[in-house]
Each structure stands twice: as structure tokens, then as C-alpha cells.
Structure 1
Amino acid sequence: MSKTISKEQIKKFNQHFQSSQQLLNAQNAVMKNGILAASSNQQALIDNTPVFSIDLDTGKVANQKQSGRCWMFAALNTFRHTIQHDFNIKNFELSQNYTFFWDKFEKANYFYENIINTSNDDLNSRKVAFLLQTPQQDGGQWDMLVAIIQKYGIVPKSVMPESFNSSMSRELNTYLDKKLRKDAIILRDLVAENASESKIAETKEKMLSDIYQLLCLTLGTPPTEFDFSFRDKDDNFHAYENLTPQSFYDQFIGADLSEYVSIINAPTADKPYNEVYTVEMLGNVVGGKEVRHLNVDIKTFKDLAIAQLKAGEAVWYGCDVGQSSTRDSGIMATNAYNIDAVLDMDFQMSKAERLDYGESLMTHAMVLTGVNLVNEQPTKWKVENSWGDKVGTKGYFVMSDEWLDEYTYQIVVNKKYLPKELQEVVAKDNVTMLDPWDPMGALA
């Protein structure tokens, strides 16, 4: 039986608070400065200076501005590192707006298909409610960008530059979601009326035409053929004519994206290690690359990242960036703040508990571009962010190894770095399907 809070209890709580000089001192500091500033730990800055034994030269950071495209920026950054090196270009960027356009377009179709497939479910069923809560969003996963590139290719930023709506995507998302929800009503009604497949397909095609129109108005029209010229670091001029997005990718990047695999560290009881997982209703391109994760222990996880960095290749990775991190100084460390001491409370949970109880999941994607090894063991990691050069060290962050253990969930590596037994695991068709709302389905 529930009980109300009594006046006697409140009196007792107040007496406890007022009797503690430590709490009264903390009250003054927290009220004046806020929780984080009052508990900031200078030692974390000292422990995480931006110096690394392995440090890739990756150039100036990009800026996703007021959009949720970190996963896209991170992946395109790994590609531009290769272009900058192979073609001797300084501060080159690929078009994030181009991939943004096609991701939005494909997500609309993916939503329509999921709505049709769940049309016989009650409107208040968990799956339908899940779909309608966020019909689409800016976020994504590595495999989702691979699906876009495999279908649409890629272009330089100069060919399809940023628009107001790609850099500040809130308005676009508002009206795109409004449109998708209205279309969901129509599609569900058609199924309820036993409309023919051809009628539903015809209706959906008109809806997709509207989506394409909306995206062209807000983001611009994606190019199908273009010329590309640049001067390299030695001031030599280069010109390429009659390129397509696909031929540009083949000529300037050329990596076989099917060779890369998503590795996760999710130490929860429902996800045994050394098995592959996918997530129901997670994706963007219908019929495109499926999102798949190989779950491994944290040592294997870090060994794979280090192997790829040692080979000179950056690593896409996903984490919960808001946990124990300082935005301005760019430090991600478990001791960045002494919050438990200042508030006199215990906030500690295991990584598995945070996942199981909704306290943490992947919220942001960045790029690992360096690591500091002492006796071949990592102590801290260099991180290329996509928040511009005004945060961190010219846009680069430092992540302590302990923070990686606790709050990093995903990396992407070439499967050639996997031990033979794990290569055999990812080659199999045996994949465990997770619920749509599983934390490993979070979009960075």
C-alpha cells in the first residue's frame, strides 16, 4: 500500500541536511556554480594531456553544427583522411548534405514499409507507437551510411555544399515527421479497407514524390554528374570531368565497405559475447545493408581498435558522450567530476546496469585517431569530433581508457583484424534479432 510523505519525515530530512557542514558548504558551491562546475576535477585535465604514442595526421575537424549527423560526419571523416593522404589535399571535406538528403529520403520509404507491415497491429501496440514516436531522425549507424554509399555514391562538399536546413535541421525534421505521420494514417486506412497492393504502391509513390520535393526545397537537388578540380599541397592543379557519385567513390576512396564490421561491447546478460546481433526495424535503405553488430569483450574491443590505428587507419566509434565529459576542454574521463563526493550520493552502476536500466546508450559518433600505449596497454585515446575547432584541442578530444571501458559501445574495423574464430562468426548467417527499442539500436 502506498504511503504519502509525512511532515515528520520532511523535518527529519531537513535536520539531517542542516546538521552537516559539508552539505551546507556544498550547497553554496552548487547553487552558485551548478553541479558540474562545483564538482570539476582538475586532475582529469592533468591525466589526459593531448599527447599520444600513436597519432594519425587527420587535419582540421569538421562541424555538424545544429544537426544530429555525427555518425555521418564520423564516417565521412574516415574517408576524407584517405583522400587527403592519397591525393595530397589539405582540409578536404566530403558532402555531408548529399548523404543527408538520401538518408532522409530512404528513411521515409523505410518508415512507410514498416507502417504497412504493422498496419494490422493496434495503434497503441508498442511497435506502432515506437514507429510513430520518431518517424525519422538525423541519427544513424555505420551500416546505414554504407547502405547509402553503396546505392548513391558520394560527392565532394564543393559539389553539394551545406544548406541552412542541413546545418540546422530542426525545422526540416518537424515538417518531415508531420508529413510521415499524416501519411501513416492514409496507409493504415488503405490496409484496413483491404486496398489492392497496386493501390497502396501507387499511393506510396506519390508520398515519396512529396518527400523528394520537400528535400529538394530544403537541402538542394543532389547531383548526378559533376566536375571536380583542386590544388594539392604543392600547388599542383588537378581536374576531373564527368564524374558520377559512384565513380567519384571508386576513384577517390575505393574501399570495399563490405569488409568492415561493427563491433560492440554490450556486457548484458541477454547478449552473449562472440555472437552477431541485428535490431528489428533498424535501417534506412529497404533491401540495403543490414545493421549487424558483433559483441565482444572489452579487451578484444580495444585490441581491434589499436590494430587498425597501428596500421594508420582511423576508427569510427560510438559512445555516450554526455557522461562525465567536459565539452570546452574536450576531456572524457571517469574522474572529470567528483559528483558523488560533492552531492554525497552514490551514482555508481556497472556498464551492464546502465544499459539495462536506461541510464546509458550510444548518443554520439566520432573518430579514434590516436592512442597512447604504455607497455602496449592503452592509457588514453585521441578523438576527432565534429563540433568545430572551438572545443577541445582544436576540435580534438582526449578520452581516458577507463572512460572507454564504461561508455564506449561501438567501433568499426576491417574484419581482417579479427581473430580467425571471430571472422568465422561474422561470416555465418546466424544472427540474433533484438527488439526495436534495444539500446544497441540507438542512433548516434
Structure 2
Amino acid sequence: MTTATDTTTTTTTAATASTTAAAGAGVDPRQLAALGDTLRADPSFRVARNAATAANVETVTLDRDVLATTDSSTSVKLDSWSVADQKKSGRCWIFAGLNALRGGDGGVIDATGVKDLELSQTYLHYWDKLEKANHFLCAMAGLTDRDIDDRTVQHLLADPVEDGGQWNMFVALVDKYGAVPKYAMPETRSSSDTRAMNRDLATALRAGATRMRQDGADVREVHRGTLADVHRILTVHLGTPPERFVWQYRDRNDEFHRVGEMTPRDFAARYLPADLGEYVCVVDDPRRTSPRGGLFTVEHLGNVVGGAPVTYVNAPVEVIKAAVLESLQDGRPVWFGCDTAAQSYRERGVWDAHLHDYEGFYDVELDLTKEERLLTGESQMTHAMVFTGVDVDDDGRPVRWRVENSWGPKAAEKGFWTMNDNWFDQYVFEIAVHRDRLPQEYRAALDTTPTVLPAWDPMGALAR
């Protein structure tokens, strides 16, 4: 007699067999031998093998024609300052946000006349960590009725307080905490190399989430106690943010200015754009499940509880390019998110969609569309930077883009990279621009109720 358990086992075994049959048989040694004979008879394989075993594949696949025809000059160039360096941290979005505000017409450098003024990334990094910890604990408190192995719970537990973030999260921090010059809260060993700090913060938060789930737990008390633990660890690593600081400086003409004592919010109100809240995110998400002109958000994505939600409107890449181009021509740098590692050459600081000829090197078809790369996890937003220039041809079309990176001055053109326009199409996913830069149909979408995507959606990857 077959029991219910037996039936399940039989059904599972049959399904597995069916899947195996559909996928094909196991690896056949005779087939491998034939493949090996084919490779040994192919001189192009021998060349590729010899090259890959003796040199870096990224170097030997470089298309020299692309490199030779990529010029770093641009017809529009806003930057006259030095790049910053995020070092061993994932604070790119904070660096990019502050870089976008310090330069260009109306930026902090323009307002003060200080040639290389840098704002403190550590200051906003501190508050982001604390706010993210609180955001995480609020989410955990609301999910105590779900099993610990629930996908959303596990997704949040995987990275409770990582370095990443989004434009809306940057604005939320500036709105609440203001900003300070770098000297008022300088870098520490842990702000420049966040691995150990993040490890210990994550452990504290996971411990708090575990205590929330214990029988009879006072969830609010656990929340408060865990946040106190996070505050202690964070302040050990990054120091105490200044409540007030003395602001005085010499401008590029060596003239001295003594403004006096200021709070971080005073500084932001005086030097940062008053319309920062009017800057919105626009993404190029080609997935058919995310229609153009729609407004979206990602579940549990954010830092400041009660702050403006992280939202974005989905628009074609042509709309995004037009908004960036108009902003740059008006003297304003543009924050953006992309998949920086794809088709990249760090030494020269170049991006081109065909920079590395991997298909020719391996003689294997590797092409995927932008949509397919998003759907399969091949590509997602991994880095935020700032557009500071563009080269426009005689017909008004962008040829290449100038990018302020936050990887220090040793690579590229003293840290400024060159992006050929074909790379923009494939690997740029998001920008932050003033809402007035968008066509009316996309501005109207900003005032609709956003569609909520799951916490693990790739459009939230930059915050992880």
C-alpha cells in the first residue's frame, strides 16, 4: 500500500526525472573527448588559451580600435575641481550626491569661490547608518508574524546596514541633518574601509531582530536597546557628528572669509540648492513588467523613517539622455547610477559597449539585451557617479560623456572618466534631475501612486 509520504516521494522523483530528461542527459565522457579533439584542432583556441594563461583576460580582450578612437575632450565641461576617493567603502551614492552639489553653476564651490572644497561624506555616512538601522528594525518589528525563512525577512537580514543608497535617501539625509565641510568631520579608518564596522553593525542588528521574535518580547524595548547598541558601535568607528562648527575659508583669490559658527542645517540652507526636493529619479527599466511612464518604488527601500519614499519614473533612455544633456548645458552636474564594471577599462578610464571583445576571444555567443541582463542578474546598478560634461556633435547629438568618479585621481584623467554614448544606452540605469527637465507625461507620473516592487527587485540594487 502506498502512503501519502510515498506518493510525495514518487511524485518528486518523477518530476526530477522529467526535468532531467527535458534538460538532456548527464555529461557524456565521449562527448567531452570529441569536444577536446575539436579544440586541439582549432588554432584560435590555442591562441586564446595561451593568452588567458599568461595575461589578464580584461587586457587581452581590449579592442584597440575603440581605445584609439576614444577622445576624452568634451564640448561641455563643468569640472575644475579634484575628484574625491571613497576608498574601500560603498559610499559612492553619498560621494556622488555631494559632488553634484559642490560643483557647477550655483554649487558650493561657485558660491564660496573655494577651488577644491569637499563636503564631509563621513558626516552623512554616520547618519545614514543610524537611520538605516532604525529603518531595518522598524521593518523587522512589522515582520515578526512571518517565518524567519520568509524571503523578504531573509533578504533584509542578508544586508541589514550596508553602505549603498539611492538619491532619495541622500536627499532625506540632507533635509534632516544638513551638511558640513570635510574638515568638520574628516575620514576615519572605518569610514574609508567599512568592512569590519559593517560586519559588527550587522551582527548587532541580527541579534536585535532575533530578540524581537522571542516569546514575550517587548518589541519596542528591543528596538530601542538595539538602536543604542548600533549608536555605540557607529560612534566608536566614525566619531561624533558635529552639532556646530566654525566656518571660515580662503577663496581662489586668496581672500579670507570668516562666516562664523554654523550648524550643519545652517550650512545646507545657505549653500545647497533650495529646490533639492524637486530633483527626481528617472530610470531606464526595459522590462515588460515595468511599463514606461509608470512610477515605482521598492518595498523596504529607504533610510529615514517618515522621509520621502524612494520612487522613480520609468522612461526611455532617449528621455533620460535629453534631461542630462539639458542639465549639463545649463551648468548643472547630474547624479546617476550604472553598472560600472561592464565593458570598462580602469587604467584609461573608458567605458564603451564594445570595449572588450569577449565573444571574439572565446568564439562563444554571449550577447544579452539590457532587459535580459536585468532579468537574469547579469547586470544591475552597482555604482553612482556624476556627469560633469558631454561632447555634442554638429547635429546636437551626444557622442561621449565626461564622468566624475569617486575612486581617486590615479586612474583615468585624474579621476575623470570617459563614457562613449553607446555604453550609456546599455549600462546607465538611473539619473536624478530637476522634475522640470522631463516631458509633461513623465512629470505627471511623479504625482501618481507608485507600484511597489519586491524588496529584492534589481532597481533597488544600488542601495545594497
Q: If the TM-score is normalised by the length of the shorter chain, which range does it land in? A: over 0.9
Aligned residue runs from structure 1 range 12-27, under 5 A: 12-27=34-49
- After TM superposition, give the deviation of residue 4 of structure 1 in Å: 2.4
Segments of 4+ moved more than 3 angstroms:
none
Q: 1:102 is matched with which residue?
A: 127
Q: Distance in 2 between matches of 1:91 and 1:234?
A: 13
Q: 1:443 is matched with which residue?
A: 462
Deviations 1:372-405 (A, max 9, x none): 1111111110000000000111000001111010
Equivalent residues, number: 437
1:379 paired to 2:404 = no
1:115 and 1:188 in contact (8 A); partners too: no
1:333 paired to 2:352 = yes
Q: 1:206 is matched with which residue?
A: 225
Q: Tell which deviates more after alignment, 110-119 or 45-54.
A: 45-54
Q: 1:60 is matched with which residue?
A: 82
Q: 1:151 is matched with which residue?
A: 176
The DSSP-based 3-state class of the residue aligned with 1:123 is coil
1:117 paired to 2:142 = yes
AA matched with 2:100: T
Q: Distance in 1 between matches of 2:290 and 2:446?
A: 15
- After TM superposition, give the deviation of residue 241 of structure 1 in Å: 1.9
Deviations 1:110-143 (A, max 9, x none): 1101111111101111011111111110011010
Q: Distance in 1 between matches of 2:226 and 2:421?
A: 48
Q: 1:421 is matched with which residue?
A: 441
Q: Tell which deviates more after alignment, 119-128 or 201-210.
A: 201-210
AA matched with 2:297: T
2:295 and 2:311 in contact (8 A); partners too: yes
AA matched with 2:402: K
Q: 1:33 is matched with which residue?
A: 55
Residue from 250, 265, 282 that aligns with 1:231: 250
The DSSP-based 3-state class of the residue aligned with 2:173 is helix
- After TM superposition, give the deviation of residue 422 of structure 1 in Å: 2.0
Q: Distance in 2 between matches of 1:403 and 1:431?
A: 29
Q: 2:210 is matched with which residue?
A: 185
Residue from 114, 121, 126 that aligns with 1:89: 114
2:122 and 2:187 in contact (8 A); partners too: yes
2:293 and 2:441 in contact (8 A); partners too: no
Q: Distance in 1 between matches of 2:60 and 2:231?
A: 49
Deviations 1:74-111 (A, max 9, x none): 00001111111121111110000000000000010011
Q: 2:5 is matched with which residue?
A: none
Q: Distance in 2 between matches of 1:267 and 1:48?
A: 28
- After TM superposition, give the deviation of residue 57 of structure 1 in Å: 2.5
Structure 2 unaligned runs (5+)?
1-16
1:277 and 1:432 in contact (8 A); partners too: yes
Residue from 321, 325, 346 that aligns with 1:302: 321
Q: Distance in 2 between matches of 1:5 and 1:215?
A: 52
1:44 and 1:331 in contact (8 A); partners too: no
AA matched with 2:380: L
The DSSP-based 3-state class of the residue aligned with 2:257 is strand
Q: 2:14 is matched with which residue?
A: none
Q: Tell which deviates more after alignment, 206-215 or 219-228.
A: 206-215
Q: Distance in 1 between matches of 2:303 and 2:38?
A: 54
TM-score (norm: length of structure 2): 0.92
1:40 and 1:336 in contact (8 A); partners too: yes
- After TM superposition, give the deviation of residue 40 of structure 1 in Å: 1.2
Structure 1 unaligned runs (5+)?
none
1:176 paired to 2:196 = no
Q: 1:351 is matched with which residue?
A: 370
- After TM superposition, give the deviation of residue 226 of structure 1 in Å: 1.2
1:280 paired to 2:299 = yes
The DSSP-based 3-state class of the residue aligned with 1:272 is coil
AA matched with 2:396: E
1:256 paired to 2:275 = yes
1:319 and 1:361 in contact (8 A); partners too: yes
Residue from 414, 417, 420 that aligns with 1:397: 417
- After TM superposition, give the deviation of residue 203 of structure 1 in Å: 2.6
Q: Distance in 2 between matches of 1:278 and 1:330?
A: 32
- After TM superposition, give the deviation of residue 276 of structure 1 in Å: 0.7
Deviations 1:298-355 (A, max 9, x none): 1111001101111100000000000010111100111211111011111100000000
Please give the root-mean-square deviation of Cα atoms over the aligned residues, in Å: 1.1
TM-score (norm: length of structure 1): 0.97
Q: 1:312 is matched with which residue?
A: 331
AA matched with 1:232: D
- After TM superposition, give the deviation of residue 201 of structure 1 in Å: 2.0
1:318 and 1:363 in contact (8 A); partners too: yes
AA matched with 2:114: I
Larger radius of gyration: 2
